[in-house]
Structure 1
């Protein structure tokens, strides 16, 4: 009996269709952004995508999506990340995607009609306001408060930090403390807020090290510092009930980590392809770069990292399909894939020489962008701490660490 790595025929066909879409439509459209408005370029792409049935891959068909399960969606995301317009073209961009999932699972009929429907149609965008300066990676350290004003409204006060895509959002998903006396993980609730709103003020878009083009906010999702002052939110906009904000947020972030990893695979693959193309054409001192053993070793290292990353994501997709606990693997993969994409892009820059360091290729821009992967959705250190703690726990319970190190593969 053998382990079956055969991808179902239908999933394979969808992957090929999306790969063709990215290479024939999205990557060429990137060049149009230099001379045309983003709305025009993206609008044209989205219209074509919907006509081909390429829309909201993970969303059930009854809500207008493709209805893909975890494996097929992973295969699709691992193609879309090759282009900065890939995810946007199919309305599966972050942070909107994970918020759509959260409202799908926990929203009331009213919330699905008012907030989810325009998101699924691509008419509106949503941001996620959880992180705060004082709390950072510790989500249970949030201080933004939500106090009930009678039975009709909640009044929110506080601040938020690095709220992704707030500057282009039409609504926000805001997490706030509703019961400071409850157990630590039950103190928080999540609210859906219509924007613009005088109680939700964008103080500034936080500048970071990433090289940004003219459409960076929309394409990559800018990061805003938010002031929340006497923000009145109708009780009908409480998502998932009081005290469930933390757990919903962690579930939401879990998919975000996977999506980042899937897109990192695609970006690393494109960078490796660019490197291979360059070394097969470039000669130094009369020798083709591709014929130099040192160059071949560099490419081999990148290929190995990509291979490991793909296997990680496929195993996690398998566990998701089966409804199994994937938190340990998710944390391991999140850290690994963030470093993998950085290493592959760095190698591609090195092999391109000064050209790679210039902005004549997308490599320099990607290099500055992917550094955030080791911070967003939980920094490396938090995930390593959690993984290491689980290793100790496994040994104490079973006398072996295997279950915390992929042992269920065997």
Structure 2
């Protein structure tokens, strides 16, 4: 564990924040869940009286947490039939994805004054997934962790805590060492969402293994490709979902180049395709099958949050400017959602391929910066630029 992770564990053990919740702010690839697991193990080992509740807002996140705990803690996590009505320590991993009422279920089980609440997550990534506009209007799309992070008690103060990552170390620890991605892949996210503070600590062999991929326009240690295409938005029958056949063809082309490449040994599990529309997911899967390509995971940003792949291909779909207002109104697609953008571009270890219409995407600040970043690094190919 690095210095910040160890300090977070020590502060949780000491419990100086009690009864105020303690926050582990974990940007992409910084070992947030590992820090939570180590904190749980150390609390169990050093505090004989401890009664620990560890929970997450999703089954997949709970599975990951359980896998990283030892068997004894697993039995405790799975044994909620034990007759314990209050807990000394409540850990909520991926707290940024939980609605506040969901978090309150766990928070309500902690001892009033002497209990320790630990919230681990990233308010700059996707929050709770809600289907009800009514729920959104009443603020349930803001997690308990994100709401706390915006309070004066938790807010960033670079002058007061300049040598502590800008935050009060008794209340919040921001993890900075990224163990996932190539520096070029994290540069934008670090500077747009994390004050340019992330430090790249990924395994060099892993993060550079695709820097010489034949399809890259810039093979000088810059494993990003933006392929501009002026496709078309289509729908089938009564389906409300959109697809873009031009982007489907390009996505499958790049998939084939990665999976059928004698220069690299890449398994289907190493590659992921992110796209915002169900119909595009379906078309990419069908086309890949017709080209006899192995099955890879194709899904939305929400399905990839918390996951990582060696290579990520993003198909943005939208090519019609007349439909942008619809997307913004109903929070569809990638535009107008900084958190969705941040998650999408930070899933890859070694390679990021983005396919989209620059004339549409440039109207969004985040995507405009990505396009400019690729242009400045000779990583743009495809249609004319706006």
TM-score category (smaller protein): under 0.3
Kindly indicate which of the two structures has a greater share of residues assigned to helix: 1
